[in-house]
Structures are given as structure tokens and as C-alpha cells.
Amino acid sequence: DPRVRLHVGDAVEFLRNAPEGTYDAIIVDSSDPIGPAQELVEKPFFDTIARALRPGGVLCNQAESMWLHTHLIQDMLSICRETFKGSVHYAWTSVPTYPSGVIGFLLCAKEGPPVNFLTPANPIEKLEGAMEAGRDIRFYNSEMHRAAFVLPTFARRELEAYCTTVEREQQEETTAEPLKMNIMPNSEILTAS
């Protein structure tokens, strides 16, 4: 498809130099967030991605296994909810070769035209290109797509509880009474009330 341009290289460096509002979609299939890859799960990287996306643009980002790394998923969800004002969802799929047999991913949309990740605009079974090439889709279908967003009870509770707590703390920080500072005349004492 001539509309697609594939860039292979250092994503951080590439996105830092990308013009603002250029891309419809960015897909990040990164290595695990340890060592040099740690920056790929931190706020500056997600801010860089958001800047490079057009309004309503979407990000699909590797987001670890809910069975092994809930704390990383919690942090990524919190950062992405702060960064992407359209929508943010955690989903997962089976990958038998991965530890725990599953991998998760975040689907995020910038503010702009609404993006409904849960219900695709086009039926998956009629994906253009695959049918024309005579290829059957052997695994993925509309039901599998919807199921990807259904989390086991433990994961749903942990992720919702963490994100609710973080969002409540951020809300309290922005709506809290401003700190009143009193400097006593002829004194070096500073009091706060």
C-alpha cells in the first residue's frame, strides 16, 4: 500500500525529530522495559508520541503481561491517561511463546475524532487485502477482538484501583487550596498555613 511508510530504527530519536501532528497511527513493539529500553515506558516518550500523532491519532504499545508485570501496566496506564485525552485501553492476547502465554498492549487515542477501540468500524472478517489475496484469517475475528479487552477479575481490580487512586491524587493536587505563606515582619521565620 503506497500510503504506508515503514521506518526501522531508533524510535526515540526518530520521533523526537518527527513533525508535530504527522502520523495517524504509531505502533511500538518494544523490548521489555529494562536497561536502555526503560525510557520507552516513561512519560517523555509518550509525550513525544502524542506530539507526533494527528488529532484522533492512535498508539498501539506493547504493555507487558498482566500475570507478571501488573505494576508496570499500572504505571503505563497512568502515564497514558495523563497524556492521551481521547481514550486509553489495556488489552491482551495469547502468545504461547511468551512467559505466561500472554502479552498485553495499550491502545491510546489523542483528543480529536472519537476512536472506538472496542468495536471496529469495519468487520474484522472482511479485512481488505487479506480476502483479496485469498488468505483466511485463522485466529483473529470480531469476537476475539472484543475478548481482548475483557480482563480477569484480579487484573481489572488492580488496574482500576491503581488508576483511580492516581487520578484522585492528581485531582486533589489540582483542586487543593493554594498554600498560604506568611512571612513575619522583621523575622527570618517562614510559616505555612
Strand pairing category for 102-109 and 53-62 = antiparallel
- Exactly one of 1, 10, 24, 29 is catalytic; name it: 29
Q: CA–CA distance from 60 to each of 42, 50, 111, 173, 179 (Å)? A: 15, 12, 15, 30, 40
- In this prediction, residue 8 carries a pLDDT of 80
Q: Is the pLDDT of residue 176 over 50?
A: no
- In this prediction, residue 184 carries a pLDDT of 36
Q: Find, among 97, 121, 30, 41, the residue nearest to 73 by Cα.
A: 41
- Banded model confidence at residue 191, pLDDT cuts 50, 70, 90: very low
Predicted TM-score (pTM) above 0.85: no
d(CA 40, CA 181): 40
Task: Over range 2-13, report the average pLDDT.
Answer: 81
Task: Over range 119-123, report the average pLDDT.
Answer: 77
d(CA 156, CA 104): 13
**Is 32 among the catalytic positions?**
no
Of 43 and 10, the one with more pLDDT: 43
R_g (Cα) of the chain, nearest Å: 21
Q: Is the pLDDT of residue 27 over 50?
A: yes
CATH 1.10.560.10 correct for 11-117+152-192? no
d(CA 114, CA 95): 30
- In this prediction, residue 189 carries a pLDDT of 31
- In this prediction, residue 190 carries a pLDDT of 28
142 alpha-carbon distance from chain centroid: 22
So where are the chain's domains? 11-117+152-192
- In this prediction, residue 12 carries a pLDDT of 85
CA dihedral 123, 129, 132, 138 (to 10 degrees): -60
pLDDT (tens digit, 9 = 90+) per residue, 35-89? 777 788 889 999 999 999 999 899 999 998 889 988 889 999 999 999 998 889 9
- Banded model confidence at residue 187, pLDDT cuts 50, 70, 90: very low
pLDDT (tens digit, 9 = 90+) per residue, 134-171? 677 778 888 888 899 999 999 999 888 876 665 555 44
